[in-house]
A and B are shown apart, each in its own frame.
Chain A
């Protein structure tokens, strides 16, 4: 069984991103970039499926500018076999990413596609579901457990009320939640080996997809700042403040 994993290059999760002073965009100058944490979980899951003898090949794909090859190499160092970059310019909307991924799905014919549930930059939580619609595949989103079972996959999902389990016909799509696994660290020898693994580059045109834009970002701004609060010296003072000053209890 071939598994396709999609990964995105994003700002490292420890960075507190700010809007540029002129409000034109976020300021990403000199910030640390990394593989989106949910995508890292997706890679780990695919590699575990391979180690368990369920998957035979793990292909990792990223849509983005040239530097996203770093994140593909990271995924290869974690154990993926082969990389695909779809080279695009600037930011690409989830619908277009999904169309490009559909093109890769048609080329690669994977039985399972694993993506992160959201990327921590745009916080959209859309791409996996859109890919599902475009390929007519079933989707197990926000997964905390994935079990391949013949020609189907059982996915336990983290939902508002608790957990839900669904059974999907393969080929299918899974999007990861935080509890699916704890990704490993790449070892130095594996990082070296990853440099030699194959990485193919396609253009959107190669995949027959036109890159369109449906949304325009008019401006960005900081959120409303909270007023600095005070430290209370005791539980008594806290209760008094909540009762008599904030009047919330």
Chain B
């Protein structure tokens, strides 16, 4: 048995989500290889080789893979993956974009967003915004899986000594091209990896007021998130959305400010260890999942909280 894990990276650094995917892959009980597809991504190959528990790293370095265009990368993964029993990736936007394409090329189902491995063919995954956990069994000989990273610990980034091999396969479907990107720049920890997250909702009233969260985030080393309502209203960019259809987070401490607690928002944060809610409506549903609820006007509570930390 063998498992191919698809590396998440930006051509220079291996993204931590890959380490969670490796842990999920280990639970499948097979040897693990990592595929790094990119352009000028040699350094990522070396980082992947250092991950504990990895057998071999395959590096496909080609301009066609530089921006992770699914049309090209899926062809590569389907070809390389032909020799494996399992193909696993983190459920990042890259994984979600590419892996179903791989599954269809291989004519197998994809098992999305797994949170537990019960056995080599049986998995748990949340459905209906996480209100229900389904146990599903796959009848396919080859399994294509995406992993909810918050459900698996990160494998050690150091300690491994995998061999590194180049993969020659060049697939350019010629039907898509990368035009540009606008990536959020921030010195804060990444939302999905932070140990503290403070999120603002519609109650913040505008983007300017999100600055009220900055000082607290600085003191706690927190990432800043948001509800869909805050993103839709243009207060903050889309990459900050936490929830069923945004990012899934499970920090040690999650502070929800001016967020009502709709099921779609809860789906993205209710596995946090400790939840704090600050809301002026004492009946807001967010209090039903909060360990500590403070009924207060956020415009008074936030400056006070910053001062007292």
Q: Which residues of A contact B (CB under 8 A)?
A: 11, 13, 16-19, 26, 38, 93-95, 98, 117-118, 120-134, 136-139, 141-142, 144, 154, 157-169, 172, 177-179, 213-223, 226-232, 234-236, 238-239, 241-242, 246, 248-249
Contact = CB atoms under 8 A, between A and B. Distances in A.
B112 interface: yes
Given A161-B184, A246-B274, A123 B111 contact: no
Contacts of A249: 196, 220, 253, 309
Interface SS, A side: mixed
Closest 6 CB pairs of A and B: A214-B109, A129-B100, A133-B104, A130-B104, A126-B100, A229-B291
25 contacts: A38-B245, A95-B107, A123-B127, A126-B112, A129-B70, A132-B101, A134-B104, A139-B70, A139-B71, A160-B94, A160-B239, A162-B183, A162-B239, A164-B181, A169-B174, A179-B238, A226-B270, A230-B291, A231-B295, A234-B294, A238-B294, A242-B253, A242-B292, A249-B196, A249-B220
A160 B101 contact: no
A220 B308 CA distance: 44
Contact of A235 (B71, B132, B178, B294): B294
Contacts of B276: 238, 242
Contacts of A127: 100
A130 B106 CA distance: 10
A138 B71 contact: yes
Nearest to A235: B304
B207 interface: no
Looking at chain B's contact residues, the main secondary structure is: mixed
What bracket does the count of chain B residues touching chain A fall in?
35 or more
A222 B133 contact: yes
B253 A163 contact: no
Contacts of A94: 100, 109-110
A136 B182 CA distance: 28
B231 interface: yes
A223 B130 contact: yes
A246 B291 contact: yes
Contact of A120 (B129, B135, B291, B309): B129
Given A242-B292, A248-B252, A136 B173 contact: yes
Contacts of B305: 235, 238-239
B228 to A, nearest CB: 6
Given A159-B93, A217-B136, 13 more contacts: A16-B131, A95-B103, A133-B101, A138-B176, A141-B96, A166-B69, A214-B140, A215-B138, A216-B139, A218-B136, A232-B292, A238-B305, A246-B253
Residue from the set B112, B244, B291 with the largest chain A CB neighbour count within 10 Å: B291
Contact of B112 (A121, A125, A217): A125
A124 to B, nearest CB: 5
A118 B131 CA distance: 16
Contacts of A19: 132
Interface string B175-193: 1111111111000000010
A220 B132 contact: yes
Interface of B: 67, 69-71, 74, 92-94, 96-105, 107-113, 122, 126-140, 173-184, 192, 196, 220, 228, 231-232, 237-239, 244-245, 247, 252-253, 263-264, 270, 273-276, 282, 287-296, 301, 304-305, 308-309
A220 B110 contact: no
B232 A218 contact: no
A131 to B, nearest CB: 8
A177 B100 contact: no
A117 B245 contact: yes
A159 B246 CA distance: 10
Contacts of B183: 161-163
Contact of B133 (A133, A154, A221): A221
Contacts of B175: 136-138, 168-169, 172
B294 A232 contact: yes
Contacts of A178: 228, 231-232, 245
A130 B101 contact: yes
Contacts of A235: 294, 296, 301, 304-305, 308
A137 to B, nearest CB: 7
Contact of A18 (B131, B182, B253, B295): B131
B184 A162 contact: yes
Contacts of A120: 128-129, 244-245
Contacts of A164: 67, 178, 180-182
A137 B308 CA distance: 56
Contact of A165 (B94, B133, B181): B181
A242 B71 CA distance: 48
A110 B146 CA distance: 30
B232 A214 contact: no
A136 B67 CA distance: 19
A124 B308 CA distance: 43
